């Protein structure tokens, strides 16, 4: 998946050469295991730009690394594979996912189903679904589409099953000092996608959310307005808070921070803390 999506972007950048770097895969308590090797290559000059799935990029970035571009966002929704809808699942159905957010959303909005751990790449997860290990699986629509198998899933309503912040977005990074890379990357930047991602990432940073927390968020940009919706959930989905805010595209980061503050007043810290095991 990573190589496929990186290749798609590299083809759009004049003179770009794709360099494949293996993720370290070293266990950590955050998302840095997915970005560490690429960050090191960028900082030591081995590459000029890196391409990430935005939802996998930690909120805090190493000094000197900046966003170069955000290409046109793919479908940000989650897709259910093996069923037409969540409501169509039978009582006791096993739904595969490795995401705390998806697990919590299932607990909140699909009580008849049970979330079971399902890991591996897209092919592995679909193979386990086909073999009957699970009755259904939830995957990102963007990933299915980029692999040319979007018909394996049915996208779900994002106002109910809210996607992960940044889902569907690719994030190109470079060094702040690399003016040539910044200029080249600007050719593939999609302004509305970049604005939406900035709002969503600001929300994540303000809340201190991470890969262990059940947080969904999606920003929609229309003309000069951003509408940002987010949901925070207890790990089992028994309690949740949803809120929405709209504002000018002039300061998407502030919009994200404002929504985070509203969610915090409503109790988001307690819910996200429970996801991290900080609160019983």
In this prediction, residue 48 carries a pLDDT of 94
Cα(139)–Cα(121) distance, rounded to whole angstroms? 10
d(CA 250, CA 230): 20
Per-10-residue mean pLDDT, the chain, length 280? 76 82 57 79 94 90 95 97 94 96 97 95 96 97 95 97 97 96 94 98 95 95 96 96 98 98 97 77
Active-site residue, from 29, 30, 119, 130: 119
Spot the catalytic one: 48, 56, 78, 135.
56
Bridge-partner residues for 45, per DSSP?
none
Q: Which residues, listed in sequence order, are joined to residue 133 by a DSSP beta bridge?
A: none
Residue 75 annotated in active site:
no
Q: CA end-to-end span of the chain, whole Å? A: 37
Q: Which CATH superfamily is domain 78-155 in?
A: Periplasmic binding protein-like II (3.40.190.10)
| pLDDT for 28 | 46
In CATH terms, 1-71+168-189 corresponds, of 2.40.50.40, 3.90.550.10, 3.40.190.10, 3.40.50.970, to: 3.40.190.10
The pTM (predicted TM-score) of the whole model is 0.92
Neighbours of 279 (CB within 10 A): 12
Q: How far apart are CA 233 and CA 271, in angstroms?
A: 6
CB under 8 Å to 44, separation ≥6 — which residues? none
Structural contact between residues 252 and 226, judged by C-beta atoms closer than 8 angstroms:
yes
pLDDT at 249: 97
Rounded to an integer, what distance in angstroms lies between the CA atom of residue 205 and that of residue 176?
21
Range 191-275: architecture per CATH: 2-Layer Sandwich (3.30)
The yes-or-no answer to whether 1-71+168-189 and 78-155 have a common fold is: yes
pLDDT at 6: 76
Domain boundaries, the chain: 1-71+168-189, 78-155, 191-275
- Reply yes or no on whether 101 is catalytic: yes
Determine the pLDDT at residue 181: 94
Per-residue pLDDT, 35: 86
Sign, Cα dihedral of 11, 13, 16, 21 = negative
- Look up 242 and say whether it is catalytic: no
User: What's the confidence (pLDDT) of residue 41?
Assistant: 93
β-bridge mates for residue 94, sequence order: 114
Catalytic residue among 73, 125, 146, 201: 125
Catalytic residue among 73, 102, 146, 201: 102
Active-site residue, 102 included = yes
Q: Which of 39, 48, 55, 135 is catalytic?
A: 55
Catalytic residue selected from 110, 169, 211, 232: 211
Indicate which residue of 39, 75, 81, 101 is catalytic: 101
Residue 221 is given by DSSP the state E
The C-alpha atoms of residue 206 and residue 222 are separated, in whole angstroms, by 24
Closest CA to 275 of 97, 106, 100: 100
| Pick from 124, 165, 168: nearest CA to 146 | 168
Concerning whether 261 is annotated as a catalytic residue, the answer is: no
Residue 279 pLDDT: 59
Where do the H-state alpha helices sit in 21-99?
A: 32-43
């Amino acid at each position: 998946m990573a190589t496929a999506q990186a290749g798609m972007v590299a083809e759009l950048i004049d003179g770009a050469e794709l360099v494949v770097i293996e993720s370290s895969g070293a266990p950590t308590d955050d998302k840095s295991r997915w970005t560490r090797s690429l960050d090191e290559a960028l900082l030591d000059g081995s590459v000029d730009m890196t391409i990430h799935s935005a939802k996998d990029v930690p909120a805090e970035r190493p000094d000197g690394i900046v966003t170069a571009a955000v290409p046109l966002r793919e479908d940000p929704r989650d897709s259910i594979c093996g069923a037409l809808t969540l409501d169509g699942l039978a009582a006791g159905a096993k739904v595969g996912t490795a995401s705390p957010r998806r697990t919590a959303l299932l607990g909140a909005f699909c009580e008849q189903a049970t979330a079971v751990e399902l890991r591996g790449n897209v092919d592995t997860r679909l193979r386990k679904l086909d073999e009957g290990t699970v009755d259904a699986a939830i995957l990102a629509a963007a990933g299915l589409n980029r692999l040319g198998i979007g018909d394996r899933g049915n996208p779900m309503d994002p106002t109910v099953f809210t996607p992960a912040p940044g889902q569907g977005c690719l994030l190109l990074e470079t060094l702040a000092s690399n003016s040539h890379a910044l200029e080249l990357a600007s050719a593939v930047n999609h302004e509305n996608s970049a604005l939406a991602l900035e709002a969503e990432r600001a929300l994540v940073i303000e809340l201190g959310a991470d890969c262990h927390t059940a947080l969904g968020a999606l920003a929609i940009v229309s003309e000069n307005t951003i509408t940002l919706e987010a949901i925070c959930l207890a790990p089992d989905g028994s309690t949740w808070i949803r809120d929405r805010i709209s504002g000018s595209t002039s300061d998407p980061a502030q919009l994200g921070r404002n929504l985070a503050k509203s969610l915090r007043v409503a109790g988001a810290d307690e819910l996200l803390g429970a996801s991290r095991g900080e609160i019983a």
